[in-house]
């Protein structure tokens, strides 16, 4: 085996990613490779322990990202000397966008020309940014610009889904290096204890495009019609503008988990207590909630858009409702999922096993092993 060091790099704190990139790292270590992590400090507080980790950013907000980038520009030479070992073949695996990424990749390639840089590009391009609102549209455009700078110094681009890969080719038709599709695998953490299914839940970040407005309308409609449903919402986002729209009676049927740090265990537990998990996005490239739900044997009820229907098969592992739909149409999906839950649950777990389970590592990442050998 070559004298190789693989650096897994996630300089912007993104809690949903840690279980995914640490699974990749552990599989590489199990095959005998030296894996090091360069991460944002906030990852320290999460459940998955990576080992051999250096924390040199504090990028949990836009202001801190700017501050970290400025520090790197002034201290970059010291950082490069400290972290990157010249006598080894270096591989860089970047996992999410950060202004330091293109600077880092370019600088290391100048110092060590044989360096190989790999970018896991989750959201390469959003053709329609209108659902995100004015401020978010500007921010997405800025992130896409930074991604474009990074791609210039990347040797392999990895897309986690077919739709993501399609958008990458649309955005970067001039890219003539290597690209592939490899789902980010999800560790199996399902429990065998008895489960009391009671909720229909919405999980994750809340903003203009995630459909939390649709969720609130659905809850209000349900209580107004005297329907016997319970709902749950779990998010680290500021939910005030959505919760204000819930009437007093509607609040009584919604379990709310809203705090800065939410563990994967809490998310898994809520999913296991749910008949179904909603993805109500107006626009999205793909969703990490889907494989986690399927891992927990829970169907997904989603808007019928390309970023979601690539993995949710209508009436097989979930239910798709029209892009423009009424609360009553969504409730029809809830009734269907609850009424045929056992079959949908089994199919959801099968979808996880077929695509996102750790056993698929060699199938999806054989190209990486071949590259390292």
pLDDT of residue 77: 67
CA distance 258 to 235: 5
The residue whose two tokens read 């002034």 is 74
CA distance 4 to 32: 10
Asked whether 318 and 341 are in contact (CB, 8 A), the reply is no
Whole-prediction pTM: 0.92
Could you check whether 4-183+359-372 and 199-355 share the same CATH topology?
Answer: yes
Q: What is the CATH topology of the domain spanning 4-183+359-372?
A: Rossmann fold (3.40.50)
Secondary structure (3-state) at 29: helix
Mean pLDDT of 139-167: 91
Model confidence over 263-314: pLDDT tens digits? Answer: 889 999 999 999 999 999 999 998 999 999 999 999 999 999 999 999 999 9
Model confidence over 197-210: pLDDT tens digits? Answer: 999 999 999 988 99
pLDDT of residue 1: 55
- Tell the CATH superfamily of the 199-355 domain: Glycogen Phosphorylase B; (3.40.50.2000)
* pLDDT over 90, % of the chain: 68
pLDDT class for 180, splitting at 50, 70, 90? very high
Model confidence over 337-369: pLDDT tens digits? Answer: 999 999 999 999 999 999 999 999 999 999 999
Residues sharing a CB contact under 8 Å with residue 10, sequence separation 6 or more, in sequence order:
17, 18, 21, 37, 38, 39, 40, 43, 94, 95, 96
Mean pLDDT of 92-118: 92
Instruction: List the single range of 15-19, 75-79, 113-117 with lowest mean pLDDT.
Output: 75-79
CA distance 37 to 154: 18
Q: In 3D, which of 297, 281, 289, 305 has the Cα closest to residue 337?
A: 297
2 burial via Cβ count (<10 Å: 0-12, 13-18, 19+): exposed
pLDDT averaged over every residue in the chain: 91
* pLDDT over 70, % of the chain: 97
pLDDT class for 33, splitting at 50, 70, 90? very high
pLDDT of residue 48: 73
Enumerate the domain spans of the chain.
Answer: 4-183+359-372, 199-355
Model confidence over 112-144: pLDDT tens digits? Answer: 899 999 999 988 888 888 888 888 888 888 888
């Amino acid at each position: 085996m070559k004298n190789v060091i693989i650096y897994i790099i996630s300089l912007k704190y993104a809690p949903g990613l840690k279980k995914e990139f640490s699974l990749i790292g552990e599989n590489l270590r199990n095959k005998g490779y030296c894996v090091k992590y360069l991460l944002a400090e906030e990852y320290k507080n999460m459940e998955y322990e990576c080992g051999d980790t250096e924390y040199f950013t504090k990028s949990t907000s836009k202001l801190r990202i700017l501050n970290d980038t400025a520090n790197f520009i002034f201290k970059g030479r010291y950082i490069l000397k400290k972290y990157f070992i010249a006598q080894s073949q270096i591989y860089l695996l970047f996992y999410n966008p950060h202004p330091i990424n293109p600077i880092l990749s370019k600088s290391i390639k100048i110092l060590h020309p044989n360096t190989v840089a790999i970018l896991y590009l989750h959201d390469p391009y959003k053709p329609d940014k209108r659902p995100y609102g004015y401020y978010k549209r500007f921010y997405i455009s800025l992130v896409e610009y930074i991604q474009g700078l990074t791609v210039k110094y990347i040797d392999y681009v990895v897309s986690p889904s077919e739709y993501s890969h399609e958008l990458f080719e649309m955005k970067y038709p001039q890219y003539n290096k290597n690209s592939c599709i490899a789902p980010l695998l999800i560790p199996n953490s399902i429990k065998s204890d008895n489960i009391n299914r009671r909720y229909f839940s919405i999980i994750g970040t809340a903003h203009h495009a995630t459909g939390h407005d649709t969720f609130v309308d659905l809850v209000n409609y349900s209580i107004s019609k005297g329907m016997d449903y319970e709902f749950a919402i779990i998010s680290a986002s500021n939910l005030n503008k959505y919760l204000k729209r819930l009437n007093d009676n509607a609040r009584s049927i919604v379990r709310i988990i809203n705090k800065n740090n939410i563990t994967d265990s809490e998310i898994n537990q809520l999913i296991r207590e749910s008949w179904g998990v909603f993805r109500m996005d107006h626009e999205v490239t793909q969703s990490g909630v889907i494989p986690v739900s399927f891992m927990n044997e829970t169907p997904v009820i989603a808007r019928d858009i390309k970023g979601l229907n690539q993995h949710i098969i209508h009436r097989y592992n979930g239910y798709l409702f029209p892009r423009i739909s009424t609360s009553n149409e969504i409730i029809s999906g809830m009734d269907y999922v609850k009424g045929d839950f056992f079959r949908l649950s089994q199919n959801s777990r099968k979808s996880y096993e077929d695509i996102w389970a750790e056993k698929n590592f060699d199938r999806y990442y054989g190209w990486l092993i071949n590259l390292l050998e």
